[in-house]
Amino acid sequence: MPQEPDFIHDLNKQQQRAVRHGEGPLLIVAGAGSGKTRVLTYRIAYLIQQQKATPNEILALTFTNKAATEMKERIGELIGDQARRLWMGTFHSVFSKILRYEAEKIGFNSDYSIYDTDDSKNAIKQILRENSYDPKEIKPRILQRRISDAKNELIHPGQYNEKFVHSTLDEITATIYDIYVQRLKHNNAMDFDDLLIKPIELFNKYDEVLAKYQDRFKYILIDEYQDTNHAQYTVTNMLAEKYKNLCVVGDDAQSIYSFRGADIRNILDFKNDYEDAVKIPLEQNYRSTKAILKAADSIIKKNDSQLDKTLWTDNDTGDMITVLDNYDERDEANRVADYIQKLKRRKGYDFGDFAILYRTNYQSRVFEETFRRKGITYQLVGGLSFYQRKEIKDVLAYLTLLINPHDDTNLRRIINEPSRGIGNKSMQGLMLRARETGQSLWEILKNVEEADIYTPAENSVKDFVAMINELKRDLANGKKLIDVTKKLLEKSGYMKSLVEENSPKSMTRRENILELENAISYFEKDNANATLSAFLQEISLITDTDKYDEDKPAVTMMTVHAAKGLEFPAVFVVGLEEELFPVGSRDNEEVNIEEERRLFYVAITRAQQDLFFSHCRSRYKYGEEQRKKRSRFLDEVSSDVVRTETGASIKQNDNAFSSSKNSNQNNNSGNHVEYDRQKPQYNKNNKSSGGTKIHYDNPDGDPFQVGAQVEHNVFGPGKI
C-alpha cells in the first residue's frame, strides 16, 4: 500500500478517521461548516491515492453540478489529472448518462429529450385540454406536483389508480398521470423525475445491467444526504448492494427540500438500513464566528425533531448580528447597499464577499435596481435562467427535433414560430389525426397531403419538413453543430423575424441567441466528439447555482435554497417577514414551519464573519402597499447576539406606522437590543431537546457579556 499522502494533515482527527475509514457503510451527520464536504473530497482523493479504487470505480453524487465541478477541481489539486475520470455529478446528470447507454432496454432511444419543469407542465396542460378539462380550473402546476410526488415515491399510474384515489382531484390526477407517462414515452422524452426512476425500472428489469453497475462502482459517496428522496435512496441502495461501500454525509437540520419529496428519514434510518454502519461525528465548525453559530443554534433548537449534535468553533466571537428594521423594500435595498459600501471600505471586502439571500426569487428585483443605480456590481443566481428564456427554448426545440423528431411537445412549440401560416385550426386537425392513428405528429407532417388541411398551411408544412430533413442530413454528414445551428436560424426565418421586429425586446432576444451560438462553439471546442445529443443533455441539466461564479467580484443574490453548501464572508438575509420568510401558504397547503426554520438555519450558517437580518414594515403587493409583520424567526434568535437598527425613513413615517409598530412589539423574547444602551435579555424559550450544542473556548463566557466593552467594526467602540 502506498504511503499516506501529506494532505491527510489538512484535516482534524475526526475528519481523518472518516477519510481513512476502510470498507463498509459510513455515516457522517454533522452541523453546518464542520467540513462534511471537505471530508468527501479528501476521502475520494485518499481512496485513489491508496489504490483502493480507480477514479472510474468511484461514484460521487452532489446536489448541484457546480458542487461536483468544484469537488473535482479540488481532487485534481490533491491527486492530479486522473480526477477527471471520476463518476461525479448530480443524481440527474449521472443517471442521465447511464440512461443514454441503456435507454433502448426500457423502450426509449438514446437521443431522448429531457423535459424541464416548464416542458412537462406544458405537456400536462395539453393533455388536460385534449380531455376536456379546463387548465384554468384544474391547474397544470398542481397536477404536475402530484404526478412528480407519485413518481418519486415510485408509485406508477396503475398503482395510483388502484390505491390512491379518494377524491375527484385524485381521479383526475390518476387519469392525467397515465396519459402523461404514455405521452412522454411516445415523444421519446423523460422529465427530471424519470431520470431517477427509469434507472430503477431498468435495474429491476435487467439483473445483468444492475450487476454491471454494482461491479463498476466500488465506492459510492453522497453529499447533502438529508435532501435525497425515496427514488434517490432506492437507486443508490441498489447500486451499493454488492460492496456496501456507501458513504453518506449530511445534516438533518439542513433538510430543506421536503416539498420536492426529500425524506429526512433517509439519513435518520441509515443505521437501520446498514446495521454495521460506522458513524463518525464532526464537531468543529471552521466557517463562522461564535456569534453566528450561537444565532444558528438558538434557531434550530426551536424545532422539535433534530438529532443531537455538538458544534463548536475556535473562531473569533465576531461582531453582533445587525437587524435592519426598514420602512419598505426600497428602504431595505438602500440600506443593504449602504452597508455593503461601508463594510467594503472598513474591512477591505470586495463585492464578491457579499451575498444577499432571500426566500423567493422575485425579491431580487428591487435590489437589482438599487445596486445598478449605486454602481454595485452583482450577479443574480436563479430566477429565469438563460436556458429558460423563450427564444433560447425555441432554438433548443428546433435542435431537439433534429435528433428526436417524434417529440411532439417540442415540435408543437416551434412549428409556427416564427409564423408560417400553420394556424391553430390546422394544428388541431393534425394533432387529432396523430392521436387517432397513434402516430407522432412528425409522421403526420411527413404525409401531410393525407391529412385534410387548408392548402397554404399544407405547403408550409411541406417546407418545414423539408427544412428539418435537410438539417438532419447535414448533421448526419458530420457538419459542425455551430454551422447547423446558424443554418437553422437562417432557414427557419427565426433570426429574420427578430431583426424585422426591431424592438428592444427582439434585440435582446437576438443577443441571447448569439450567446447560445457561443455556448455551442465552446462546447465543440472543449469536446472532441461533440454530439448535438450530448450538448442538449448538458444544458438541460444546468441548475440555478451552476451559474454562480465564485471568482467574480460581484455581490451574489440568490434564494436560500440555492445557497446550500456555500459560504460567504458577509451575508444579508432579507425579507424576514411573516408570510414571506416563513412563506405564506399557497394552494391551501399548510406551511411547514419546521422546514422554514431549517431554511433560516441554512441561511445563517452561510455567513463566515458578518451577518445581517432585514425586514420591512410594508411591502408592495399587486400594486398596493401592505403592512408586514416581522418574522417570528427574528424573535427566536438568541437576543444577546443581535442588535436592531431602525431606519431613518421609519421615523419619518412614524405616524403612518404607529399601529404596525405595536404589532412589532409582540416579540416576547425582547431581542430589540439597542447597541450600547440596552441590556441583552436571554432567550427564555430555549428547549433543551435536541439541537446543536455550542461550546465556546471560554467555558464560562458567553460571547457578549453584559457590561463588556466591545469594539464594533462599523460602529466603533461601545458597551453592552
Our finding on whether 38 is near ligand ATP (CB under 6 A) is yes
Our finding on whether 37 is near ligand ATP (CB under 6 A) is yes
Our finding on whether 255 is near ligand ATP (CB under 6 A) is no
Q: Which does 32 bind (CB under 5 to 8 A by kind): ligand ATP, Mg ion, none?
A: ligand ATP
User: Would you put residue 80 in left (φ > 0), alpha (ψ -120 to 50) or beta?
Assistant: left
Where does 420-503 have alpha helices with state H?
424-437, 441-446, 455-476, 481-491, 494-501
- In the set 14, 16, 34, 37, which binds Mg ion (CB under 5 A)? 37
Least distance CB 42 / Mg ion (angstroms): 13
Our finding on whether 41 is near Mg ion (CB under 5 A) is no
- In the set 25, 33, 140, 382, which binds ligand ATP (CB under 6 A)? 33
Nearer to ligand ATP, 62 or 492 (CB): 62
**Is 709 an active-site residue?**
no
Radius of gyration of the chain (CA): 28
CA-nearest of 337, 306, 352 to 550 is 352
The full length of the chain comes to 720
Least distance CB 44 / ligand ATP (angstroms): 13
- In the set 14, 15, 245, 315, which binds ligand ATP (CB under 6 A)? 15
Nearer to Mg ion, 62 or 229 (CB): 62
Give φ, ψ of 26 to 5 degrees: -135, 130
Q: Is 30 marked within a binding site?
A: yes
- The helices-and-strands tally (H runs, E runs) of the chain is 29, 22
**Is 223 an active-site residue?**
yes
- In the set 32, 235, 300, 481, which binds ligand ATP (CB under 6 A)? 32
Pick the stretch among 169-177, 293-301, 565-573, 694-702 that binds Mg ion (CB under 5 A): 565-573
Residue with cell 466591545: 710
- In the set 19, 21, 27, 35, which binds ligand ATP (CB under 6 A)? 35
What is the pattern of x (binds ligand ATP, CB under 6 A) and - over residues 596-625? ---------x--------------------
CA-nearest of 233, 256, 236 to 244 is 236
Is cis: bond before 199, omega within 30 of 0?
no
Q: How far is CA 624 from CA 620, 621, 665, in A?
A: 5, 5, 24
Q: Which listed residue (36, 72, 290, 491) is catalytic?
A: 36
Q: Is 701 marked within a binding site?
A: no
Distance CA 93, CA 114 (A): 11
| Side chain identity at residue 207, one-letter code | D
Q: Is 36 marked within a binding site?
A: yes
CA-nearest of 241, 222, 242 to 232 is 222
**Is 413 an active-site residue?**
no
- In the set 89, 318, 352, 565, which binds ligand ATP (CB under 6 A)? 565
- What is the size of the binding site for ligand ATP (CB under 6 A)? 18
Our finding on whether 14 is near ligand ATP (CB under 6 A) is no
- Across the strands, what pairs with 302? none
User: Rounded to the nearest 10 degrees, how much is the dihedral formed by the CA atoms of 139, 140, 144, 145?
Assistant: -30
Cell of 227: 435532501
- In the set 12, 50, 459, 681, which binds ligand ATP (CB under 6 A)? 12
Q: Which does 33 bind (CB under 5 to 8 A by kind): Mg ion, ligand ATP, none?
A: ligand ATP
- Across the strands, what pairs with 627? 618
* SS3 call for 246: strand
β-pairing, 378-380 with 624-627?
unpaired
Least distance CB 254 / ligand ATP (angstroms): 6
Q: Which listed residue (14, 15, 16, 37) is catalytic?
A: 37
Least distance CB 34 / ligand ATP (angstroms): 4
Neighbours of 130 (CB within 10 A): 13
Q: Is 648 marked within a binding site?
A: no
**Is 224 an active-site residue?**
yes
Q: Is 35 marked within a binding site?
A: yes
Residues marked active site are found at 36-37, 223-224, 254, 606
* Contacting residues toward ligand ATP, per CB under 6 A: 11-12, 15, 30, 32-38, 251, 254, 286-287, 565, 567, 605
